[in-house]
């Protein structure tokens, strides 16, 4: 009854560990790309930063999950994960260029800006996930 699950545990562990490393790497890069430190702002109770950062996390996790589901090996999953991260970072950079005031709005706690960035990350993540073959 549990044989298929037990036999698949090594593959699960490999994919899960790789996905966790990719997620941590993406979040680290995201914090470096933004001109403010989301984690410090979140510790201070900044809702805009929390919403924005949460949206980026989920926006990356969606295509990452699809890459796990469709990949037959860790290398393909890793490749799609890198592509997903690049796409998410480019979406943030595009938003920052189009709306330069975002750089001040998030640290000021303006929730509308956080919601916009989160929604953008989710929308791009959904499209990104749908494009993974």
Note down the domain range covering 78: 3-131
DSSP state of 132: -
Question: Does the pLDDT value for residue 130 go beyond 90?
Answer: yes
Domains held by the chain: number: 1
Q: Confirm whether pTM is higher than 0.95.
A: no
Neighbours of 6 (CB within 10 A): 9
User: Do residues 74 and 19 lie in contact, with contact meaning Cβ atoms separated by under 8 Å?
Assistant: no
Cβ-Cβ contacts under 8 Å for 54 (sequence gap 6 or more):
118
Query: pLDDT tens digits, residue range 66-124?
Result: 999 999 899 999 999 999 999 999 999 999 999 999 999 999 999 999 999 999 999 99
Query: pLDDT tens digits, residue range 12-70?
Result: 999 999 999 999 999 999 999 999 999 999 999 999 999 999 999 999 999 999 999 99
Residue 60, classed as helix, strand or coil, is helix
Cβ-Cβ contacts under 8 Å for 25 (sequence gap 6 or more):
85
């Amino acid at each position: 009854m549990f044989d298929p699950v037990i036999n698949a545990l090594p593959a699960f562990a490999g994919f899960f560990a790789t996905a966790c490393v990719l997620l941590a790497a993406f979040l680290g890069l995201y914090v470096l790309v933004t001109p403010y430190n989301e984690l410090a702002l979140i510790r201070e109770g900044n809702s805009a930063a929390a919403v924005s950062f949460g949206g980026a996390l989920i926006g990356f996790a969606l295509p990452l999950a699809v890459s796990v589901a469709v990949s037959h090996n860790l290398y393909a999953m890793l490749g799609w994960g890198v592509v997903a991260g690049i796409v998410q970072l480019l979406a943030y950079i595009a938003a920052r260029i189009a709306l330069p005031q975002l750089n001040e709005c998030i640290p000021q706690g303006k929730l509308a800006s956080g919601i916009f960035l989160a929604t953008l990350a989710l929308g791009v993540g959904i499209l990104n996930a749908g494009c993974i073959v």
